[in-house]
Amino acid sequence: MTEQDWLSERFAEHQDRLHAVAYRMLGSPGEAEDAVQEAWLRVSRTDTGQVENPAGWLTTIVARVCLNMLEARRNRREESAGALPPEPAAPHASIHPTGQADPEDEALLADSVGVALMVVLDTLTPVERLAFVLHDVFAVPFGEIGAVIDRSPVAARQLASRARRRVQGAAGASDAGRSAKREIVAAFLAAARGGDFAALLELLDPDVVVGEVRGGHAVAGFFAGRAQAARLALVEGVPAAVWSHRGRPKAVFMFAISDGKITRITIDTDPDRLRDLDIVFLSARDEELR
């Protein structure tokens, strides 16, 4: 067996884990596949003669690729000065010469992470996110994590601990926040359906953003028509609005809320991502009880 054949077999053997690591790190199936593909390109050009632990070695390479992508994403957001981040790429058909991504695996990954956790992870710095995900989710030792981020094992432990406190704090406040958010989303949908422009403005922050449209008056006009056909739902357990056609979700509207006001509306129409989401429609009574 040639070195390339051995490497290809090891990569295929650990591919599911590598994709899971990348997905947890990046929060996007498409970006996760891009990361794994980039890791394979790096691996295929590397001398593997000194590799004693293929699983750990491959995980380290994928983690470094993800860290670079997170840092690039953070820089783009800072440069855009508050503009919405670009839509993540749709999943590619292939991530490795030996096989393709399994849609069922994608769905399981999406369910296991959840929108709520991904929102919290997005508030962490890239190195905090890496330390937390690798250690708490995949049990990677702090010594190996420190090597990825060029920090000591003690520093890696501190980063993971800091991230863990933030994640646990967000989880503790999630139930109360979810109930309040459902009331606001339900009120927004009711106002949109009824054409109550004044009520819409009451719910929107003056600097609310949806796509490239900014400001309460602009957003109310932009979104009201679309919201008239949307229904209140839980998307990965988070209150949201979903527009469906012939029983298939076509658009998911996610809301960011601060101090009782809607500050951002994110609209996702990518069919691959919508297919993988756990969507539970709520009854009309749930919308009325706000």
Could you tell me the fold of the domain covering 174-288?
Answer: Nuclear Transport Factor 2; Chain: A, (3.10.450)
Alpha carbons 147 and 133: distance in angstroms, whole number: 15
Specify whether the CB–CB gap between 205 and 263 falls below 8 A: yes
Neighbours of 233 (CB within 10 A): 24
For residue 217, what pLDDT is reported? 55
For residue 174, what pLDDT is reported? 54
Q: Residue 187 contacts by C-beta under 8 Å, 6 or more apart in sequence?
A: 199, 203, 290
Tell me the pTM.
0.49
Neighbours of 195 (CB within 10 A): 11
Q: Which residue positions in the chain have pLDDT lower than 50? A: 81-113, 213-214, 285-290
For residue 10, what pLDDT is reported? 86
Alpha carbons 68 and 35: distance in angstroms, whole number: 10
- In the block, residue with structure tokens 């990518």: 270
Looking at 1.10.357.10, 1.20.140.160, 3.20.20.70, 3.30.1180.20, the CATH number of the domain 3-172 comes to 1.20.140.160
For residue 109, what pLDDT is reported? 38
- Nearest partner of 203 among 224, 232, 225, judged by Cα: 224
Domain ranges in the chain with CATH number 3.10.450.50: 174-288
Domain ranges in the chain with CATH number 1.20.140.160: 3-172
Q: What mean pLDDT value characterizes the chain? A: 75
